[in-house]
Structure 1
Amino acid sequence: MTQIEFHFNTTERLQYVCRLLRKAHGRYLRVGVVGSEASLRQLDAALWAFSEVDFLPHSTAADAPQIQAASPIRLNPDPLQLSGLDVLVNLGDEVPAGFESFKRLIEIVATDDHGRMTARQRWRHYTAQGYALVQHDLSKAAAS
């Protein structure tokens, strides 16, 4: 069964996702990131500018299929195009189709009202399906 985590109260969402992807890449995990085309374009730009010393190899849906297949980090608005990866990171508002084929799903929840409302809907969906959810309150981590 897929392990589902909610990382909420992310104030700098793109920077947080970049750090999360760096950590996953360091553990040799293959990660898919799903969300709106606009948020994935912003993440793509953030990954290129994230660090002067870390390169996070990634691809987008616009890249050639062989580049996508070789990329340990894949950004795609269609979660069904991300099969065969270890982890799925959701930046979208909806429950990603096919999430149950991943070992792990990480829901990134911003601090705005819209982000919280849609995250609550996804939370209810997963619990209704019998998933035990793990929550990480990033405001508590920042206060430590």
Structure 2
Amino acid sequence: MTRIEFHFNTGERLLHTCRLLRKARTQNLRIAVVGATATLKQLDAELWRFQDVSFLAHCTVHDASDVQQASPVALGPDPHAWGIDEVLMNLGDDVPLGFERFARLIEIVSNDEHGRDQARLRWKHYKSLGYELLQHDLSKVADT
């Protein structure tokens, strides 16, 4: 069964996502990231400037297919386009289609009212399916 985690109360949502992606890469995991096109474009830009001393390799749907297949982090609307089944990060409002095929789903919750409201709906959906949900309140962590 997919392990589902909600990360909420982060002041810097994209920066937190970058940190999670870096951590997952140290564990040699491949990660698919889904969300609104504008959000993924912002994340793509953030990943390019995230660290001065290293580069977090990633691709988007606009990259060549060989780049997409070789990239450990993939950003796009279809979580299954890259054959990744380890980690799915959701930056969107909706429940990602086919999330249950992933070993782990991480929901990164926006700090605004709309983001929290949409996260509550996703939480209720997963609970109704019988998933045990983990929550990480980032307001209680010094380095989010």
TM tier, shorter chain?
A: over 0.9
Q: Higher helix fraction: Structure 1 or Structure 2?
A: 1
The letter of the residue matching 2:16 is Y
The letter of the residue matching 1:10 is T
Report the counterpart of residue 106 of structure 1 in structure 2: 106
Report the counterpart of residue 34 of structure 1 in structure 2: 34
Asked if 2 retains the 8 angstrom alpha-carbon contact of 1:80 and 1:97, the reply is no
Report the counterpart of residue 11 of structure 2 in structure 1: 11
Q: In structure 2, how many angstroms separate the alpha carbons of the residues matched to 1:17 and 1:61?
A: 19
Name the SS for the 2:52 alignment partner.
coil
Q: How does 1:14-93 map to 2 (within 5 A)?
A: 14-93=14-93
Relative to the length of structure 2, the TM-score reads 0.96
Extract unaligned runs of 5+ from structure 2. none
Q: Tell me which stretches of 4 or more aligned residues in structure 1 moved more than 6 Å.
A: none
Instruction: Give the count of matched residue pairs.
Output: 143
- 1:50-78 Cα offsets, whole Å, 9 max, x none, are 01112100000111111101000000112
Q: In structure 2, how many angstroms separate the alpha carbons of the residues matched to 1:27 and 1:106?
A: 16
Report the counterpart of residue 128 of structure 2 in structure 1: 128
* Percent identity for Structure 1 against Structure 2: 60
- 1:91-117 Cα offsets, whole Å, 9 max, x none, are 000000010000000000121100000
Extract unaligned runs of 5+ from structure 1. none
Name the SS for the 2:38 alignment partner.
helix
Name the SS for the 1:80 alignment partner.
coil
Q: In structure 1, how many angstroms separate the alpha carbons of the residues matched to 2:94 and 2:43?
A: 18
Q: In structure 1, how many angstroms separate the alpha carbons of the residues matched to 2:13 and 2:49?
A: 15
What RMSD over aligned residues (CA atoms) do the two structures have, in Å?
1.1
